[in-house]
Structure 1
């Protein structure tokens, strides 16, 4: 399935998630729409400390009121995940926590780790400011795109060209400097055109390191097809 098709059917197919997503806002849980990073703090420069597999539910402790990050607990691991890719049920439709209506009540939390905040700021200053933002990978937002891909929690927005073992090996043995973008690194998100990507031996693919994670992208679409973990 190509990305244009994914975008066209994303809005209509979001209804398919209704049966899979209970009223998480009422139970204190949210479902990861795709393999989703758990970070040590609420932002893309913080260290990745775990992953919520796509389709799995995490306990929702609350969300920041001023940013699209929520504090979660998944199998004993506490951290922060992007609310753009955490789904709740609203009027029998799945929506991202970041776009929930005011009628959906979620606890507000704050981030108070001053030492980690300073460390993050120092890292950001050393790396330079973000140079753009990762774009959601389907019309209608991340949740619609995941369901349009035919699954909850799998490789939504999968590309026509899949990275081979040789490509993954090449990428891991040829590291490149990281760039920082607003938003989370997930399969299907689109990398801005002003970000330099690098060749791999496999035709149709390139790679780049974003927010500390190396990703393989489609050469024509700049959409992430695999996150190298």
Structure 2
């Protein structure tokens, strides 16, 4: 898959608090949205492709949102889907050791930042699934032309993640998968497993 670089965002990253920490190289385990701020309510400014590297600058205390920098710019990612080398082992950032030395960054003070907009949570899965590949053009057109109100869930929209039963899945004529707008991102979902099989970008 083509690597997608994300543009620079002025002021997207906040100064680290406390002592200086070393930046940590990380890699995306799946195609991952890069957002303008720490939460699904912020716009997507790019994609960190599966296997693509970036530099982790820090994470909000008690949150899974972390700031990264890459040659194409800076932004925020959900750390369930990035790994780093901690103590000689590659570990998902949210499962890093307590003494990993990741800097703590303060959350934004803008009006967009909130943790009260979620109606549930996206469940990340350790067992990866293959994306179905690009769907037929008419499927993408249907989803775009029949946009529905987004559901905001704690987490990020990635292939393989599971949606809670409370999220209504919409039918697509003559197509096996359903669709939904989660965190303002359209995605195709297997109605049997409720797992995301493709993220429409």
Aligned equivalents of 2:174, 2:144: Cα separation in 1: 14
Cα displacement (A) at 1:165: 2.6
Aligned to 1:75: 71
User: 1:161–1:205: structure 2 CA closer, same or farther, 3 Å change rule?
Assistant: farther
Structure 1: runs of 5 or more not aligned: 1-24, 139-144, 147-156
User: 1:92–1:204: structure 2 CA closer, same or farther, 3 Å change rule?
Assistant: farther
Give yes or no for contact 1:163–1:216 (8 Å, CA) kept in 2.
Answer: no
Give yes or no for contact 2:23–2:102 (8 Å, CA) kept in 1.
Answer: no
Aligned equivalents of 1:160, 1:71: Cα separation in 2: 30
Aligned to 2:197: 225
- CA deviations 1:30-54 (Å, max 9, x no partner) are 1011111111111121111111111
**Which one of the candidate residues 178, 181, 184 is aligned to 2:156?**
184
The answer on 1:84 being equivalent to 2:83 is no
Aligned to 2:122: 134
SS in 2 for 1:88: strand
The answer on 1:57 being equivalent to 2:53 is yes
Aligned to 2:136: 164
Aligned to 1:118: 111
Q: Which has the higher helix share?
A: 1
Aligned equivalents of 2:133, 2:173: Cα separation in 1: 13
Larger relative contact order, structure 1 or 2 (CA cutoff 8 Å, min sep 6): 1
Aligned equivalents of 2:174, 2:194: Cα separation in 1: 15
Cα displacement (A) at 1:66: 1.9
Aligned equivalents of 1:94, 1:75: Cα separation in 2: 22
Cα displacement (A) at 1:171: 1.0
The answer on 1:174 being equivalent to 2:146 is yes
Aligned to 2:89: 93
User: 1:161–1:79: structure 2 CA closer, same or farther, 3 Å change rule?
Assistant: closer
Size of the aligned set, in residue pairs, is: 181
The alignment's TM-score, normalised by the length of structure 1, stands at 0.72
